[in-house]
Structure 1
C-alpha cells in the first residue's frame, strides 16, 4: 500500500531526512535565559543586558532565548543569588555585598579604597585574583560569574565652604551613609560622623542642615538633585563599586563548551558597553555640577586611602580576608 503525501512527510520528519536527501541533525530547543535586575530601563545596567541579549542571539542564532526582566519585577534586589542557586533564575547582576553574605572572604571587595578605578577593577577581576574569587563563588554558591561591570564611584557631597583635604577635615561632619554596619564603618573610616538615614529623607535633611553631607556616585547626586542643597563635591573616590553579571551553575552546565564561550564573549561586550558609557557620564557630570555653582575638587586621596585601609585591616571585617589580599590587589597595575 502506498504512503499518502502527508504520511510520507511525517515519516521523513521523524527520521530527520532533509529535502536534499541528507540526514538532518537533531536540533535542541533554544535555551531560555531569564535575567532579573532591579535596574530601570534608562540605566546603563539595563541597557547592557540588551547588548548581551542581542550579541548572544546573533552569535548563536536559534540557540538562546533571552528574557530581560527589569525593575525587580521577577525577583527583588538581593534575592537573586538564592533564586539562581535553587534553579529558579538563570542570570542576574549581583553585588559583592550579596556574595559576602555567603562567602565572607568576599567582604574585602566591599571595603573602601581597595579598587582604584574602573580600569583597576577590570584588571583585578580579569586576572588571577578574579579567577580565585570567582572559583569560590562557583564552588560554594553554584553560581558562575561571567564578568564584572562598573557600578560607579562614590564621592562626598557636602554643605558649606570648608575645604576638605584630609580625613582630619571631616571631623564632626555629619555624613549620611546607608544604615548597615558596613556602610557606617566606612563613614567613620573616612573620618566623618556617619549618620544613618533613608535615601528619601536626604534632600530635606541637607536642606535643613540636619546633616552636613552624603556620599553617592555622581549620577545619583544629579538624579536626586542634591546639588540644589549642597555647595561642594569632594572627589574622594572612596568606593569604586562593582556589579557581577552571573549565571546559575545549573544553567551554565546545560551549555556546550562552544555556547559557554559565546555567553562569556557576549557578557564582556555588554560589560564594555556599560563601562564606557558610565565613565563618560561621570566625566560630563563634573562639568554639570561646576555649572550649578558647586566647588568640585580632589582632596589628598592618598591620605584618605592610607587611613581607610588601615581602619579596615584592624577591623573585624578583615578576619575573613585571605592573607595578603589587600597587598595583592594594591599591586595590580
Structure 2
C-alpha cells in the first residue's frame, strides 16, 4: 500500500512540474510576443532641420502611434554612419532596419540598373520625377533591387534630395568656365564622365569634410541642392559663394528596409510599417520643396551670388551619355519609359 501511495505522489509531482513548465513557456512566449519590434532608422545627415531627419521622425511617429506599441523606432542622424556605404553595409548586416541612400552608393552593391536615376538631366521638373518614381518605372526598380540583392533590400519609398546646382569660386556664364576646375562630385560612372566632358576635374571629398575643403582650396566648387549646402554653410566660403542654377539633377534617394525583417512581420505589422513609410515620403518631400526656396533666400541674404544659365548646351551634352550608359547596363527600355513621361 505504501509503495502504491509513493508511486502516486511521484506521478502527481511530475505532472505538476510538467504543467508548471508548460505554463512558464506560455508566459515566456506571451512576454516575447508583447515586446515591441525595435526598428533602427538611420541617415547620414547631421542637421536637425534636414528633410531626411524630418522624414525619419515622421516614420517613427506613425509607426509607433498606429501599431499600438508593436514598433519602437530609434532614429540616428549621422551617428550610425556618416557615409551611405556604411549605412548600406549596416542594413545588410541587420545593424540598421531602415536607411536612406543615393543611387551612386546603391550601384556599388552590384545593382548597376540603379544608375538610371543618377543620369544628368534625366528629369525636366519635379512633376516628371514624381511620375517616374511613383509609377511603373519606380515599381520595376523596386522589384529589381529586391531580386538582385537576394531579398536583402526592400524599397519602401522614394525620397528626393532636391535639385542640384553648381556652386564655386566663380559664376558660370557658359560651360567653358568649368575648364580645369576641381569639382567635388562622384569620381566614377556617368556623373564623373559628364563633369569631365565639361572640362572639370571630378574630385572625391567626404561630405563632412567639404566645408574645410572649400575653405582650403582643395576643391574649387561642388554641386548640391540648396537645403544641403546652405545648411552646411558652404556658401559662406570663397569657393562656394557663387551659385549657378544648372539644375542638372532632380535627385532620387531610396528609402530602404531590411527585407528579411519586413518578411518576418505579421501582415498587420507590415501594413502599418508601409503606412509609416508613405507618411515619411510625403513629409520628406514637402520639407525639401519648402526648404529649397527658403535656403536659396538665406544664401542670398548671407552674401552669396546666384545666377541662371542657358541649360540647353548642358542638356545636349548629357543625352548621348544617357544613351551610352543605358545601353551599357541594359536599361534602354527604362530610359525610354522615363523620356516618354516628359
TM-score of the superposed pair, with normalisation by structure 2: 0.78
Would you say 1:139 and 2:147 are equivalent positions?
yes
Would you say 1:240 and 2:250 are equivalent positions?
yes
Partner of 1:104: 112
Residues 35/160 of structure 1: CA separation in 2 closer, same or farther (3 Å cut): closer
Partner of 2:213: 201
Which of 260, 275, 297 is the matching residue for 1:250? 260
Partner of 1:313: 323
Q: CA deviation at 1:236?
A: 1.0
Counterpart secondary structure, 1:45 = helix
Partner of 1:7: none
The correspondence of residues 29-178 of structure 1 with structure 2, limited to 5 A, is 29-42=35-48, 43-73=50-80, 77-101=84-108, 102-141=110-149, 142=151, 143-160=153-170, 163-164=173-174, 167=175, 169-170=176-177, 172=179, 174-178=181-185
Residues 318/201 of structure 1: CA separation in 2 closer, same or farther (3 Å cut): farther
Return 5+ residue gaps in structure 1 as ranges: 1-9, 17-23
Q: Name the structure with the higher helix share.
A: 2
Residues 251/195 of structure 1: CA separation in 2 closer, same or farther (3 Å cut): closer
Partner of 1:19: none
Residues 323/275 of structure 1: CA separation in 2 closer, same or farther (3 Å cut): same
Which of the two has higher C-alpha Rg? 2
Counterpart secondary structure, 2:84 = coil
Q: CA deviation at 1:214?
A: 2.8
Q: CA deviation at 1:56?
A: 1.1
Residues 228/57 of structure 1: CA separation in 2 closer, same or farther (3 Å cut): same
Partner of 2:7: none
Moved more, 227-236 or 143-152: 227-236
Partner of 1:6: none
Checking the alignment, whether the CA contact within 8 Å between 2:172 and 2:244 is kept in structure 1 is no
Counterpart secondary structure, 1:282 = helix
Tell me how far apart the structure 2 counterparts of residues 161 and 237 of structure 1 sit (CA, whole Å): 14
Q: CA deviation at 1:290?
A: 3.4
Residues 324/238 of structure 1: CA separation in 2 closer, same or farther (3 Å cut): same
Counterpart secondary structure, 1:78 = helix
Counterpart secondary structure, 2:78 = coil
Tell me how far apart the structure 1 counterparts of residues 204 and 148 of structure 2 sit (CA, whole Å): 34
Tell me how far apart the structure 2 counterparts of residues 331 and 240 of structure 1 sit (CA, whole Å): 17
Paired positions, count: 308
Tell me how far apart the structure 2 counterparts of residues 45 and 162 of structure 1 sit (CA, whole Å): 30
Partner of 1:263: 273
Residues 324/303 of structure 1: CA separation in 2 closer, same or farther (3 Å cut): farther
Q: What is the root-mean-square deviation in Å for CA atoms of aligned residues?
A: 3.1
Tell me how far apart the structure 1 counterparts of residues 163 and 304 of structure 2 sit (CA, whole Å): 18
Residues 66/286 of structure 1: CA separation in 2 closer, same or farther (3 Å cut): closer
Checking the alignment, whether the CA contact within 8 Å between 2:66 and 2:272 is kept in structure 1 is yes
Return 5+ residue gaps in structure 2 as ranges: 1-19
Cα deviation, 1:238-282, whole Å, max 9, x if unaligned, reads: 122222111111111012223222212211211211111122111
Counterpart secondary structure, 1:304 = helix
